[in-house]
Amino acid sequence: MCGIVGFIGKKQAAPIILDGLSKLEYRGYDSAGMAVFDGEKINVVKAAGKLKRLVELTHDGAEIKGFAGVGHTRWATHGQPTSENAHPHLNGKGTIAVVHNGIIENYISLKKMLTKKGYSFKSETDTEVIPNLLDYYYKGDPLEAIQKTLHRIEGSYSFGIIFADRPGELYAARKASPLICGKNDEGTFIASDVPALLKYTRRVYYIGEEEIARLTENSIEFFDVDASPIEKEEVEIKWDASAAEKSGYEHFMIKEIYEEPKTVKDTIRPRIKGNTVEIEELGMTDEEIKEVGGIFIVACGSAYHAGVTGKYVFEGMARIPVNVDIASEFRYRNPILNEKDLVIVISQSGETADTKEALRVAKQAGCKVLAIVNVVGSSIAREADKVMYTWAGPEISVATTKAYSAQLVALYLLAIKFAHVRGRITDDEMTSYIQDLKKLPDQIELLLGNREKIQHFANRYVAAKDVFFIGRGIDYAISLEGSLKLKEISYVHSEAYAAGELKHGTISLIEDGTLVVAVATQKDLLAKTVSNIVEVKSRGAFVLAVTNVGSTEVENVSDYVLFIPETNRYFANSLAIIPLQLFGYYVSVGRGYDVDHPRNLAKSVTVE
């Protein structure tokens, strides 16, 4: 969701805040603003639209002076994306400024209470109650006012706060929305995510649930919600700073697609020891693995699609029953869980609100929870029993690519481990799987070399109105993600269907010229998928097929074919998804859209 950056120190705050926000624009880009204390008063500049408008208004921050401030890029939840609704928000006297990521669920009742006490409001946002509530409680001690405010509000939040009469201090607090602190020789920082701080420091602190931070030029102190001091350990960020830059690529998305070979290699390599899979962070003995009765995979969006593939791989390879749930549905369907179930939650950011709540449901039921996440120290990583990191590095584009690929191979590794321990595959079979895994990075590299062919085809379908993706088994899981990639960045209406469901209604939508993307990598299902291709072609569809090298049956009935190298059937998604990611990317570019910042979407969904 929204991006927050704050700074207090020896340098002018505004340029640092703008620079940090530029690294977080993937979290929100419908408006931006910042508040800087100049020694006498808090100056606020806000603008609707992307961050560049704020940069222009302030001449790269040169027009707003001061050594302490907070900034914000917004993803609108309450109120239209206007300058009035943009953050920061102030109390009536202009002495308290607040930026906020999250949702204040009881803001209506708080607003009524404050209105009765003489407070007025200028925006449509839930956030504006916070500076006024802080003002109501403020008696000269910011920590006390923040503590009392946190006790009154319900919902999710991360706050950056400055008080005009405490010029040497910057405050932060969080619950269910990420926030970190950092420090260098020139000052201290707060930010929603690591990329904002990589230029300034690699040593950060993660603010925990319902914790408060007080920052000065030289120090960072932490307190719980009752204002009791907390000791906190520093975490070193090992990402290369260049990983959060475009490095000459036109968009982050294409850069991150090209990083997929390295991402897959980095996720696989630490878990392969000789001819065995060793997942040390799993922390489960062989006996515990053998006792697992069932697996629940819980996630949202692309991570959910990775989980659908995981279901086919786990059930086929390890013969363990697997349920795959959308996290928001898992929470409310009252799932039947027992202590022998393993719950795997998947989240790139480690902050996805619904996934985090699903994790808590699982833990309350007594299940062991394993998190597959990309961000070290994230909320889900801290709350899960065990964590398997994907080592994808920072992913800036809103549409995930490399993090999705890393999640896939993490699930493959887990399935191989479980299958071997439970006696479902032999030593030789495990060795064969490992050899195929090791080939994936080079095979992905090979597919990236065919981008011009995919770009040429995408240019033909820039004006497409409807696109349908079909597949069976794992190919259906691939279709789900391929369809999502296209719709989220190009705004083309796109749907994915299990190919066998075509005759149950969907085929009525096929007409002359309709593009159907048929994924056909599963050899045991090839004949049936070919029949489905023939069905849609007979209704006038133009068929783009993604299939294995040498698959003449598919080639003979399709209009355009993209081939993937031979691999184990369980790992086909890792290869077939590459041309589909590129297809979605090039359609979006051809339509002239902002690939990295698709409308109405944000990278990390930290509210329900």
**Chain segment 402-448, per-residue pLDDT in tens:** 999 999 999 999 999 999 999 999 999 999 999 999 999 999 999 99
Mean pLDDT confidence for 596-603? 76
DSSP annotation of 217: S
Given the residues 46, 175, 311, 603, the one annotated as active site: 603
Between the alpha carbon of residue 230 and those of residues 161, 194, 444, the distances in Å are: 19, 22, 46
Question: Could you report the per-residue pLDDT of 65-123, keeping only the tens digit for each?
Answer: 999 999 999 877 777 888 899 999 999 999 999 999 988 999 999 999 999 999 999 99
Query: What's the confidence (pLDDT) of residue 120?
Result: 96
Please determine, for residue 151, whether its predicted confidence score (pLDDT) is greater than 90. Answer: yes
pLDDT-derived band at 302 (thresholds 50, 70, 90) equals very high
Structure tokens at 39: 């020694």
pLDDT-derived band at 19 (thresholds 50, 70, 90) equals very high
Please determine, for residue 608, whether its predicted confidence score (pLDDT) is greater than 60. Answer: no
Which residues make Cβ contacts (< 8 Å) with residue 92, sequence separation at least 6?
Answer: 119, 120, 132, 135
Query: What's the confidence (pLDDT) of residue 195?
Result: 84
183 is a catalytic site residue: no
Q: Mean pLDDT over all residues of the chain? A: 92
pLDDT-derived band at 2 (thresholds 50, 70, 90) equals confident
Please determine, for residue 240, whether its predicted confidence score (pLDDT) is greater than 70. Answer: no
Q: How many residues does the chain have?
A: 608
> Which residue shows structure tokens 């690699």?
202
Structure tokens at 54: 């704020």
C-alpha 339/C-alpha 458 separation (Å) is 49
371 — phi, psi (to 5°)?
-105, 135
Q: Is 431 left (phi over 0), alpha (psi -120 to 50) or beta?
A: alpha
| Bridge partners, 72 (sequence order) | 4, 33
Query: What's the confidence (pLDDT) of residue 28?
Result: 64
C-alpha 20/C-alpha 23 separation (Å) is 5
Please determine, for residue 176, whether its predicted confidence score (pLDDT) is greater than 80. Answer: no
Please determine, for residue 317, whether its predicted confidence score (pLDDT) is greater than 60. Answer: yes
C-alpha 114/C-alpha 305 separation (Å) is 45
Q: Which candidate, 281, 325, 328, 319, places its Cα nearest to that of 307?
A: 325
Query: What's the confidence (pLDDT) of residue 533?
Result: 95
N- to C-terminal Cα distance for the chain?
11
Query: What's the confidence (pLDDT) of residue 604?
Result: 58
Mean pLDDT confidence for 384-413? 94
How many CA atoms does the CB half-sphere of 525 hold within 13 Å? 20
Q: Sign of dihedral through CA atoms 164, 32, 189, 384?
A: positive
Instruction: Provide the whole-model pTM.
Output: 0.80
**pLDDT > 70: percent of the chain:** 97
C-alpha 403/C-alpha 406 separation (Å) is 5
Query: What's the confidence (pLDDT) of residue 33?
Result: 95
DSSP annotation of 25: G
Given the residues 2, 181, 300, 367, the one annotated as active site: 2
Query: What's the confidence (pLDDT) of residue 243?
Result: 66
Better pLDDT: 377 or 41: 41
Q: Sketch out the chain's domains with CATH numbers.
A: 3-237 (3.60.20.10), 249-448 (3.40.50.10490), 449-599 (3.40.50.10490)
Question: Could you report the per-residue pLDDT of 180-231, keeping only the tens digit for each?
Answer: 999 999 999 999 988 889 889 988 999 988 999 999 999 999 999 999 999 9
Query: What's the confidence (pLDDT) of residue 1?
Result: 62
43 — phi, psi (to 5°)?
-100, 130
Mean pLDDT confidence for 462-470? 93
Q: Sign of dihedral through CA atoms 488, 493, 499, 504?
A: positive
pLDDT-derived band at 394 (thresholds 50, 70, 90) equals confident
C-alpha 329/C-alpha 352 separation (Å) is 14
Q: Which candidate, 92, 86, 93, 164, places its Cα nearest to that of 127?
A: 86
Question: Could you report the per-residue pLDDT of 23-73, keeping only the tens digit for each?
Answer: 887 666 789 999 999 999 999 999 998 888 999 999 999 999 999 999 999
pLDDT-derived band at 235 (thresholds 50, 70, 90) equals confident
Mean pLDDT confidence for 142-166? 95
In this structure, of 68-77, 162-171, 322-331, the range with the lowest mean pLDDT score is: 68-77
Question: Could you report the per-residue pLDDT of 499-523, keeping only the tens digit for each?
Answer: 988 878 778 888 898 999 999 999 9
| Bridge partners, 153 (sequence order) | none
Which residues make Cβ contacts (< 8 Å) with residue 136, sequence separation at least 6?
Answer: 114, 117, 119
Q: Number of helices (H) and strands (E) in the chain: give both, helices first.
A: 19, 27
311 is a catalytic site residue: no
Mean pLDDT confidence for 475-499? 96
Please determine, for residue 473, whether its predicted confidence score (pLDDT) is greater than 70. Answer: yes
Better pLDDT: 8 or 382: 8
Please determine, for residue 147, whether its predicted confidence score (pLDDT) is greater than 70. Answer: yes
